[in-house]
C-alpha cells in the first residue's frame, strides 16, 4: 500500500495558468512584453492567495517583490505559470510564482508578491489563517523563500 507522506489541502494546491504568446503580447523586439507577463504572473498569484483565503473579494496586492526574466518568450510559445502560497502572516499572504516555456523544465521567470486581506471598506483585517506544518515541511523551499521576502519588507 502507498504511504501518503504529506497532503496538500485543496486551498493550497498549486495554481497553474497557461498562456499562448500571440502577436498582441509582443514588444518592439518581437518577444513577450514584460507588462503582459507581469499581468499573467500577478493574476495567477492573486488566484493562489484568493483560493487560500476563500474570499477573492477580500484580496488586494500590497507589493510585487520582483520579477526576473531569464529567457525571452516568442510568438507561438506556451508559457506556464505555477504559483503557490509560501508565507502567511496575520494579514498577509505571500505567493511564489515561477514560469516555464513550452516543455522545458527550467524556470525562466520567477516572481513573488504579497497580498493583504481587506474588508469591504478596504481596511486590512487579520484573516486568522495559518499554513499547516506538514505543508511547510513538504514545501520548505517555497516557504523559506517567502519568509525571507516577508522579513525583508
Ligand X SMILES: CC(C)(COP(=O)(O)OP(=O)(O)OC[C@H]1O[C@@H](n2cnc3c(N)ncnc32)[C@H](O)[C@@H]1OP(=O)(O)O)[C@@H](O)C(=O)NCCC(=O)NCCS
CA of 131: how far to CAs of 11, 69, 151, in Å?
11, 29, 17
The count of residues in the chain is 153
* Residue 14: DSSP 8-state: P
Candidates 8, 51, 61, 129; binder of ligand X (CB under 6 A) is 61
The answer to whether the Cα torsion of 126, 45, 6, 146 is positive or negative is negative
Candidates 8, 17, 38, 63; binder of ligand X (CB under 6 A) is 63
Candidates 9, 60, 119, 144; binder of ligand X (CB under 6 A) is 60
Residue closer to ligand X by CB (options 44, 92) is: 92
* Residue 58: DSSP 8-state: G
Q: How far apart are CA 89 and CA 39, in angstroms?
A: 24
Q: If binding is defined by CB under 6 A, does position 83 make contact with ligand X?
A: no
Candidates 51, 80, 89, 107; binder of ligand X (CB under 6 A) is 89
Per the CB < 8 A criterion, the answer to whether 113 and 61 are in contact is yes
Candidates 105, 120, 122, 141; binder of ligand X (CB under 6 A) is 122
Q: Which three cell numbers, joined as nine digits, stand for 11?
A: 486551498
Q: Which three cell numbers, joined as nine digits, stand for 120?
A: 469591504
Q: If binding is defined by CB under 6 A, does position 91 make contact with ligand X?
A: yes
Find the shortest distance in angstroms from Cβ 38 to ligand X.
11
Point out which span in 10-18, 46-54, 58-66, 139-147 binds ligand X (CB under 6 A): 58-66
- The radius of gyration of the chain from alpha carbons, rounded to an integer in Å, stands at 16
Find the shortest distance in angstroms from Cβ 143 to ligand X.
15
* Binding stretches for ligand X (CB under 6 A): 60-63, 89-92, 114, 116, 118, 122, 124, 153
Amino acid at each position: 500500500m502507498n504511504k501518503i507522506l504529506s497532503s496538500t489541502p485543496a486551498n493550497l494546491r498549486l495554481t497553474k495558468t497557461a498562456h499562448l504568446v500571440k502577436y498582441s503580447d509582443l514588444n518592439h523586439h518581437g518577444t513577450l512584453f514584460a507588462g503582459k507577463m507581469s499581468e499573467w504572473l500577478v493574476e495567477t498569484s492573486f488566484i493562489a492567495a484568493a483560493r487560500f483565503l476563500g474570499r477573492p473579494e477580500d484580496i488586494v496586492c500590497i507589493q510585487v517583490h520582483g520579477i526576473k526574466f531569464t529567457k525571452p518568450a516568442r510568438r507561438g510559445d506556451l508559457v506556464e505559470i505555477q504559483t503557490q502560497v509560501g508565507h502567511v502572516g496575520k494579514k498577509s499572504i505571500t505567493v511564489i510564482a515561477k514560469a516555464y516555456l513550452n516543455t522545458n523544465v527550467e524556470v525562466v521567470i520567477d516572481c513573488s508578491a504579497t497580498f493583504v486581506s481587506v474588508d469591504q471598506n478596504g481596511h486590512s483585517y487579520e484573516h486568522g489563517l495559518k499554513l499547516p506544518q506538514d505543508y511547510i515541511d513538504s514545501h520548505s523551499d517555497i516557504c523559506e523563500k517567502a519568509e525571507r521576502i516577508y522579513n525583508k519588507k
